[in-house]
Amino acid sequence: MTQSNVDQDERPLFPALVRGWCLRCPGCGSGPLLRGYLKVRDTCPVCGEELYHQRADDGPAYLTILLVGHLMAPLILWVFIEFRPDPLTLASVFSVGTVALSLFLLPRLKGAMIGLQWAKRMHGFGSRA
């Protein structure tokens, strides 16, 4: 493949990431990406883009743990130092917050990773122009 063919076939990265974050097909941005909470559709019902190529695997879970840990740990420390709540109250509130944030981020990060793979033509996404 020549350099001009590669340039013509470039897919924009940022829109693909945003579409994936919004749980939409990275190709058209209209069709739903997921069939359930984390189950990726085989094809987009709107544009027919094949999505079964994706290999998100453990990446979204790792990123979710990384983000939630880096957000919640300093927040827990700050709340404890500033307000000195009862430890049981602190643990209860932040447990619920951590689980809620994790459940919110996990499918969105999976969608963004699929968008990244689609834009970079990774894992079989490159076979279709």
Q: Show me where the domains of the chain are located.
A: 11-127
What local confidence, expressed as pLDDT, does residue 120 receive?
93
User: pLDDT digits over 56-104, tens only?
Assistant: 999 999 999 999 999 999 999 999 999 999 999 999 999 999 999 999 9
What local confidence, expressed as pLDDT, does residue 8 receive?
52
What local confidence, expressed as pLDDT, does residue 127 receive?
63
Task: Round to whole Å and give the CA distance between 29 and 98.
Answer: 29
The model carries a pTM of: 0.88
Task: Round to whole Å and give the CA distance between 51 and 34.
Answer: 10
Task: Round to whole Å and give the CA distance between 81 and 119.
Answer: 44
pLDDT above 90 covers a percentage of the chain that reads 86
Give the pair of three-digit tokens for residue 117: 């793979």
